[in-house]
Amino acid sequence: MVIDMTGILNWKTESGKTNWYLVLGTGITGFVLSLIFIGLLHPPYDIEAMDTAHKFAGGSLRHLFGTDNFGRDVFSRVLAGGFTTMKIAAGTVAVGLLGGVLIGAVTGYFGGLTDELLMRINDTLFAFPSVLLALVIVSLFGSGTSHVIWALGIAFVPSFARMVRSEFLRYKNSDFIAGAKLQGAGALRIMTHHILPNAAPVLMSSVMIGFNNAVLAEAGLSYLGIGVQPPEPSLGSMLSEAQSYLVSAPLYAAGPGLMIIFMVLGFSLLAEGMSREQLSGAWF
């Protein structure tokens, strides 16, 4: 399946103005990703290296966001935590997307009783906040990275399924599909080669929203202490730790907090910049 990226990344709106959402979103996400990448290859400090002589050091050029209660460099840990969050977000979106495309494609294309039944279940799950569903799964199977990915991924399936289904409904009766059928294309081929590529722009926008929500949900779960478990660094658990030292080291909380904000901001701007409404220049 070939997805035409030129249909997704439109740097200009239809009226010829610069698509600022996409430009800024790409810039911020690129900045965050390159920071994380640098943190992977050359972390400024070892994230586990403790230096009790320099506990709660303030911000300086040596330690951009100071050090934590064990004297570990906060900035290095933020980069590592960012990678953990990104990893989980990618896994979550992959699970959600796979499930969503499967369910959405089948229900949208074939319709009938399966559609009715699956969509009823889907709508019930859709009304259920993802954090709550994740809490149920984590409380049953325990916490940890892979459980968080499955928990959030499953929680994300309904929204993807809904969106994919509506795209399939949109195209299934169009002329070019009738043409493909006349040429003898089977249902599977039509779905994967004819409808899915057309749904790609909308899909990409939803993927970005998915990343946005996954980052928020993962950070929330880890903040509650039921997501990623130490020693694996995570932005959420750093924040919850930093909260106990707000008086002595206010900068400690700023590090992971800013990282989450930049990640979410980048993804939400990307999603906005890729959406159809934005391109038609209907507003702003």
Partner 1 sequence: MRYAARKIIMLVVTVLAISFVVFLAFSVIPGDPALTILGGQTDPARVEALREQMGLNAPLPVRYVRWLRSFLAGDFGMSYRYSVPVSRLLGEKIPITLILTLESFLFMLLISIPLGIYSARHAGGRADRALVILNQIIMAVPPFFSGILITFFFGMLLHWFVPGGYVSWRVSLSGCVGYLVFPAIAIALPKSAMVVSILRRSLLKEARLDYVRTAYSRGSRTNYVLYRHMLRNAMGPVVTFLGMAAADMVAGSIIIEQVFGIPGLGRALLTAIANRDYPVVEAIIVLISVLVVASGAAVDLICRRLDPRISLD
Contact residues toward partner 1 (CB under 8 A) are 124, 127-129, 131-132, 135-136, 138-140, 216, 219-220, 223-226, 239-240, 242-243, 246-247, 250, 253, 257, 260-262, 264-265, 268-269, 272, 277, 282-284
Q: In angstroms, what is the minimal distance from the CB of 129 to partner 1? A: 3
Q: CB-wise, 108 or 266, nearer to partner 1?
A: 266
Tell me the sheet residues that pair with 12: 18
Q: In angstroms, what is the minimal distance from the CB of 3 to partner 1? A: 27
Q: In angstroms, what is the minimal distance from the CB of 170 to partner 1? A: 19
Q: In angstroms, what is the minimal distance from the CB of 277 to partner 1? A: 8
Cα-based distances in Å from 13 to 58, 65, 194, 243? 45, 39, 26, 43
Give the Cβ contact number of residue 280 at 10 Å. Answer: 11
Q: At what angle do helices 112-126 and 74-110 cross, to 10 degrees?
A: 150
Q: CB-wise, 37 or 128, nearer to partner 1?
A: 128
Question: What does the DSSP assignment read for 15-72?
Answer: TS-B-HHHHHHHHHHHHHHHHHHHHHHS-SS-TT---GGGTT----SSSTT-B-TTS-
Residue with tokens 């969106």: 163
Q: CB-wise, 153 or 171, nearer to partner 1?
A: 153
Q: In angstroms, what is the minimal distance from the CB of 280 to partner 1? A: 11
Q: CB-wise, 178 or 261, nearer to partner 1?
A: 261
